[in-house]
Structure 1
Amino acid sequence: MAKQTVITDSDEESDAEELLNRQYKVILLGNGAVGKTSLAHRFCDGSFSTSYKQTIGLDFFVKAGD
């Protein structure tokens, strides 16, 4: 007998919620003054600063999914 799968609206809603709740952690590594922080700002905020400010230690950015 063939296996059957039944998809209901509640299954589709839970799949959609799972997609919205996914989180990713990204680590940017590289030499100094190459633009790691600028890249993170551009991706998370959509902004870009032409002034240079050295990052001491680490920075933490959060971007909400669309």
Structure 2
Amino acid sequence: MSSFRNEIEALQDIGTLREKKNRIKDSVVSPDLNWDSRMKLYEQVQLINSRIAYLSTQRKSSC
């Protein structure tokens, strides 16, 4: 998860983050996933949501 975290924290574009989040969300419904794998994907989505919120706050404060 740390390499994924590093990748997300390096991204500055909210649109790219949203696209990545949507791809992950689409894969969560796969019947091939077990509960543990699905939870890891949910954690990734939460991390992306946190990054989007942080970048949104940064942009508002710089205006």
Q: TM-score, normalised by structure 1?
A: 0.30
More helix by share: 2
The higher relative CO (CA closer than 8 Å, separation ≥ 6) is in: 2
Q: TM-score, normalised by structure 2?
A: 0.31
